[in-house]
């Protein structure tokens, strides 16, 4: 029996990663700590399993190759820390659906960056797929710009999308030379180092008051970060980053379904139509991006 190649596994891994990170806003809502502290614990609690993965599967740790990429790994960690801090605050201030949608405007910035900095060719058909997928995501969310806290939350989610776009581009760049485990571990160290003082200054670092609160944070770290972001980092070594960012629009569809199921946030029939539109846009983008990494 022929073993699947990494390229054949890349798209399923990307979609599985999107499913895992779609649970992140649910965990943030259930967290007993502040939004920035929750982001810190997400990274801090992910470090032991990531370190274990590095020591077991990557003999390149500590080599010159890793050292030469350390500035890029640190910058990647900073972008992810900024993304998490702004996104977690947005989840508190607006709905899960709105926060997830606006944070997932990242494909716009990733597509531009992939063209400018990574030399990825962007076909007209790909742009059409991107626009269709974003339109479907907006339909899924069924959101409009609001006032007060909703407006602040939506705006923070848009800022988060810019930082997440930077994180995806940097992960694509570093994954070309380093393993998934190494990229994930060092960027997580940098993210945690950025988030600790941010949490202390904005909230005072807090910790959960109950066992359930700790279990929520552990689940956020293991499911959404180690599992979800790890699968996405793996896939980025084998897929064009512009297409990968579009495929991650599968996440808002799932996040809305999870919010309906677990948090009783209402959904309508148009959101089912929007999910179909998102998948159609991803399929079109995939057709015009295959083999262009």
Q: What tokens does 156 get?
A: 């923070």
pLDDT band at 6 (very low <50, low <70, confident <90, very high): low
Q: Of 15, 4, 13, which is closest to residue 251 (Cα–Cα)?
A: 15
Query: Residue 293 falls within a domain, yes or no?
Result: no
User: Is 13 a member of any domain?
Assistant: yes
Query: Taking a C-beta distance cutoff of 8 angstroms, is the pair 164, 232 a contact?
Result: no
pLDDT of amino acid 60: 56
**Residues 177, 182, 187, 189: what is their CA dihedral angle, to the nearest 10 degrees?**
-150
pLDDT grade, residue 102 (50/70/90)? confident
Residue at 1 is within a domain: no
Q: Which of 95-99, 212-216, 238-242 has the lowest mean pLDDT?
A: 95-99
pLDDT for 2 equals 58
Which range in 9-13, 33-37, 42-46 is most confidently predicted, on average pLDDT? Answer: 42-46
Asked if the structure places residue 141 within a domain, the reply is yes
pLDDT tens digits along 161-202: 899 989 999 998 998 888 899 999 999 999 999 999 999 988
Q: What is the pTM of this model?
A: 0.82
Most confident of 175-179, 272-276, 281-285: 175-179
Q: Is residue 292 part of a domain?
A: no
Residue 2 falls inside a structural domain:
no
Residue 93 CB contacts under 8 Å (≥ 6 apart), including other chains:
149, 150, 152, 153, 156
CA 186 – CA 54 distance, rounded (Å): 10
Mean pLDDT estimate for the chain: 82
Percent of the chain with pLDDT over 70: 86
Residue 134 falls inside a structural domain? yes
Q: How far is CA 89 from CA 77, 82, 104, 143, 211, in A?
A: 18, 11, 15, 18, 23
Residue 245 has a pLDDT of 80
Q: Write the pLDDT tens digit of every residue in 126-149.
A: 788 778 877 877 776 665 444 445
CA distances from 245 to 39, 199, 236 (A): 21, 28, 10
Residue 178 maps to a domain: yes
- Position 290 scores a pLDDT of 47
Domain count, the chain: 1
Q: Show the domain range for 248.
A: 9-287
More confident call, 267 vs 243: 243
């Amino acid at each position: 029996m022929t073993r699947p190649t990494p390229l054949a596994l890349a798209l399923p891994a990307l979609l599985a990663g999107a499913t895992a990170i779609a649970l992140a806003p649910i965990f943030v809502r259930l967290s007993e700590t502040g939004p920035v502290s929750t982001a810190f614990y997400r990274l801090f609690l992910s470090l032991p399993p990531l370190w274990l993965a590095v020591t077991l599967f990557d003999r390149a740790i500590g080599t010159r190759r890793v050292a030469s990429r350390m500035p890029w790994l640190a910058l990647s960690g900073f972008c992810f820390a900024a993304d998490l801090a702004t996104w977690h605050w947005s989840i508190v201030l607006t709905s899960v659906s709105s926060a997830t949608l606006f944070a997932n405007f990242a494909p716009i910035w990733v597509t531009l960056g992939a063209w400018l900095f990574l030399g990825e060719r962007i076909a007209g058909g790909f742009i059409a797929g991107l626009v269709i997928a974003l339109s479907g995501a907006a339909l899924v969310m069924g959101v409009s710009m609001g006032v007060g806290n909703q407006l602040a939350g939506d705006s923070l989610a848009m800022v988060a999308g810019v930082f997440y776009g930077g994180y995806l581009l940097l992960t694509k760049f570093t994954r070309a030379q380093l393993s998934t485990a190494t990229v994930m571990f060092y960027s997580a160290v940098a993210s945690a180092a950025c988030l600790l003082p941010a949490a202390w200054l904005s909230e005072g670092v807090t910790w959960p008051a109950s066992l359930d609160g700790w279990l929520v944070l552990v689940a956020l770290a293991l499911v959404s970060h180690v599992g979800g972001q790890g699968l996405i980092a793996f896939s980025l070594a084998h897929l064009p980053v512009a297409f990968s960012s579009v495929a991650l629009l599968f996440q808002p569809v799932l996040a809305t379904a999870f919010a309906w199921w677990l948090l009783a946030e209402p959904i309508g029939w148009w959101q089912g139509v929007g999910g179909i539109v998102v998948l159609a846009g991803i399929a079109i983008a995939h057709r015009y991006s295959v083999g262009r990494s």
